[in-house]
Amino acid sequence: AKEEGRNTYAMYTESLQSKLSEQIWIEHQLHKALDLNQLTLHYQPIVEGITSEILGIEALLRWNHPERGLISPTQFIPIAEQSGLIIPIGQWVLREACRQNKKWQDEGFQKVRIAVNLSARQFYSESLTEEIRTILEETELTPQYLELKITEGFMIKDPDYVNTVINGIRAMGVTVSIDDFGTGYSSLSQLRNFSVNVVKIDRSFVQNIGTDRNNISIVRAIIELAHGMNLKVVAEGIETETERKLLQQHNCDEMQGYFFAKPMDSDRFAQLWRQRMIN
Ligand code: C2E
Ligand code: CA
Ligand code: CA
């Protein structure tokens, strides 16, 4: 038993160590990523459920590492958040998304909103509102074509402060949406405490919506609640026709997911968009 305990301990420290060195590696490399132009944005369309018409765009961060290839944001955003690197990275994302959206508008594409994820640290930084204002001025994007995504987790610390920030952002004409709704700690009725414009339903509720009675009930409840408060509902992670159909039946306003299109680089996105305009 003693031997076993030691082995378990050895394995534990080993895996902890490799996890730690992985973190340190990522943090170290991430420091240079911005300067070396290794960060890039991919874009995923948000569409009308029946016609697939593009109604919006979500910007998603990608890290193209020369040796490791594409690294997923779920792997490096938490580390960027911890180290504070998320502040300059988040600023870059916001500027790049606004710049690209304005460019597409200038090229004659339909004017739509671009959604950008905010991290908690970014959201709680004092200069956020000022930074958004500056970036909108610099890129000349009209505020109504920018949407910022926050999550329920932001609310826990200080709901009053959170709503003050949300209202400050909305006062500029920027849309604020609540992402991954229902996956956090709050109950659905908490929705009334957020002064947001849009609710995004998480993929975990959309998955198996055809067979999972709990999921369909949750989705229906979220949509009814949101509509009762005049909020728009967007469902994420639609992968099948069944999911699309059911969400349509339950009056979901807009949809996003691999069924319609995966996130892609700006060139491929423009190509897809051009095709849809012709059809
Ligand atoms: P999210 O905001 O919930 O974004 C949606 C995620 O679901 C994206 O993953 C997207 O590629 C993926 N997705 C979309 N449709 C489908 C589908 O039909 N099936 C499946 N399986 N997945 C789908 P991604 O790009 O890996 O991003 C993961 C998360 O990383 C995002 O979740 C977001 O919270 C975070 N993230 C991404 N970019 C940024 C950023 O610029 N800043 C911050 N702070 N976070 C970001
Ligand atoms: Ca998100
Ligand atoms: Ca989400």
151, 196 contact by CB (below 8 A): no
pLDDT, one tens digit per residue, over 104-124 is: 999 999 999 999 999 999 999
Does residue 93's CB lie within 6 angstroms of at least one atom of ligand 1?
Answer: yes
The alpha carbons of the chain give a radius of gyration, in whole angstroms, of: 20
pLDDT, one tens digit per residue, over 206-228 is: 998 888 888 899 999 999 999 99
Q: What is the ipTM of this complex?
A: 0.98
Q: How far does the centroid of ligand 2 lie from the alpha carbon of residue 117, in Å?
A: 5
Q: How far does the centroid of ligand 2 lie from the alpha carbon of residue 113, in Å?
A: 16
Query: What does the pLDDT read at residue 211?
Result: 86
261 pLDDT above the threshold of 70: yes
277 band by pLDDT with thresholds 50, 70 and 90: confident
Query: What does the pLDDT read at residue 210?
Result: 82
89, 71 contact by CB (below 8 A): no
Does residue 77's CB lie within 6 angstroms of at least one atom of ligand 1?
Answer: yes
At 94, list the tokens. 């916001």
Counting ligands in written order, which one lies closest to the CA of residue 123?
Answer: 1
Query: What does the pLDDT read at residue 48?
Result: 94
pLDDT, one tens digit per residue, over 58-92 is: 999 999 999 999 999 999 999 999 999 999 999 99
Test site for ligand 1: of 60, 91, 119, 207, most ligand atoms within 8 A of the Cβ: 60
What is the per-residue DSSP string for 11-29?
A: HHHHHHHHHHHHHHHHHHH
pTM: 0.93
Measured from the CA of 41, which atom of ligand 1 is nearest? Answer: 41
Q: Which of 213, 252, 265, 268 is nearest to 55 (CA)?
A: 252
5 band by pLDDT with thresholds 50, 70 and 90: low
